[in-house]
Amino acid sequence: RQRKRTKGKSAPSDSTTSTSDAKAESEEALKEAGINSWVESETKNEIDAERTLDIIPSSASSEIIPTGQRPSTLYPPEVRCVFAFLHVGCELDLVRVVTRVRGAEYNPKRFHAVVLRIREPKATAVIYASGKIVCMGARNEKAANIACRKFVRILQKVGYPQAKFAPTEEEPLIRNVMAKVKVPFPVSLDALATHKEHSDFANYETEIFPGLIYRMAEPKVTIFVFVTGTVLVVGARTRTEVLKAFDNFYPVLCMFKKPNITTPSNPVETTSEEQKAIDRPN
């Protein structure tokens, strides 16, 4: 009996560590899924634009930047989506939150977090029991700031007065800024992907994705380039990094600029016999 009891005793498990690791992995997967969904929505627009590319003329001097002027001032990137991360400073009972907040969603079998949406500004929050909030879908930094404040206020109203909005330098509020910019000329993606200086950073597989994926080393961002001249900057932590990335990448776009594309005046050539048949009176 004594042996059986000793055998049956279980050693202390690392459930706390495994739970925290699972949460970190789920947050990274959530962040990646949000980025992918935004890129996919922008990609659909670019696929439609590529169909009319043959009738869009590009100006010969469109890529010329005045001396001393940055490309981002001439073609300013537009911030389209922002990810924000915040810790409210206390643990939360997710069942309590979902039962007291209208419109909140919680399905622990599928995802161990509460999903909450607000309309103004339009944003979605993923709220974890640890007190961490991931805010997605805000159009800019200001909207993300307002949305996070509203989410904290909602938690305060449902029984968590100690919840606070207090981002720090170690844990800043804005973690991922995604921007879009359009240059007025088409880009040769095949030439860019096969160039010896850029092939290590570029990935272009048309069977998988219609755009070229360029992973920049400094600043550390990912750039999606489409043949239409549309550029998506993903992974920047601040707006300054977005501007710096585009300024560094613009000379590469100019290097692989496609020649002027115009619609031919006489697309169908006729032979002399066909021409005689056309001119012959009935």
Quote the tokens at residue 149.
């404040």
Q: Which residue has the higher pLDDT, 116 or 8?
A: 116
Does 170 have pLDDT greater than 50? yes
Query: Which of 34-48, 103-117, 209-223 bottoms out in mean pLDDT, i.e. has the lowest?
Result: 34-48
Beta bridge partners of 104: none
pLDDT confidence band for 245 (50 / 70 / 90): very high
Q: CA–CA separation, 83 vs 88, rounded Å?
A: 16
DSSP letters spanning 82-127: EEEEEE-SS---HHHHHHHSTT-EEETTTEEEEEEEETTTTEEEEE
Q: What's the pTM value of the predicted model, to 2 decimals?
A: 0.69
Does 64 have pLDDT greater than 80? no
Query: Which of 35-39, 154-158, 184-188 bottoms out in mean pLDDT, i.e. has the lowest?
Result: 35-39
Q: CA–CA separation, 255 vs 188, rounded Å?
A: 9
Look at residue 22 and give its three-state secondary structure.
Answer: helix
Does 272 have pLDDT greater than 70? no
Write down how long the chain is: 282
Does 55 have pLDDT greater than 50? no
Look at residue 137 and give its three-state secondary structure.
Answer: strand
Q: How many other C-beta atoms can be found within 10 angstroms of the C-beta atom of residue 59?
A: 10
Which residue in 132, 123, 135 sits closest to 92, CA to CA? 132
CA dihedral 51, 53, 54, 56 (to 10 degrees): 140
Contacts of 273 (CB under 8 A, 6+ apart): none
Q: Is beta strand 174-182 parallel, antiparallel or unpaired with respect to 230-236?
A: antiparallel
Does 202 have pLDDT greater than 90? yes
Cβ(125)–Cβ(151) below 8 Å: yes
Quote the tokens at residue 257.
């600029």
Per-residue CA distances from 171 to 87, 165, 166 (Å): 9, 12, 9
Contacts of 74 (CB under 8 A, 6+ apart): 65, 66
Q: Which amino acid is at 152?
A: V
Long-range contacts of 32-35 (CB under 8 A, 24+ apart): 34/81, 34/83, 34/136, 34/137, 35/83, 35/176, 35/178, 35/234, 35/235
Quote the tokens at residue 62.
């469109």
Phi, psi of 135 (to 5 degrees): -105, 125
Which residue is listed with tokens 């550029």?
231
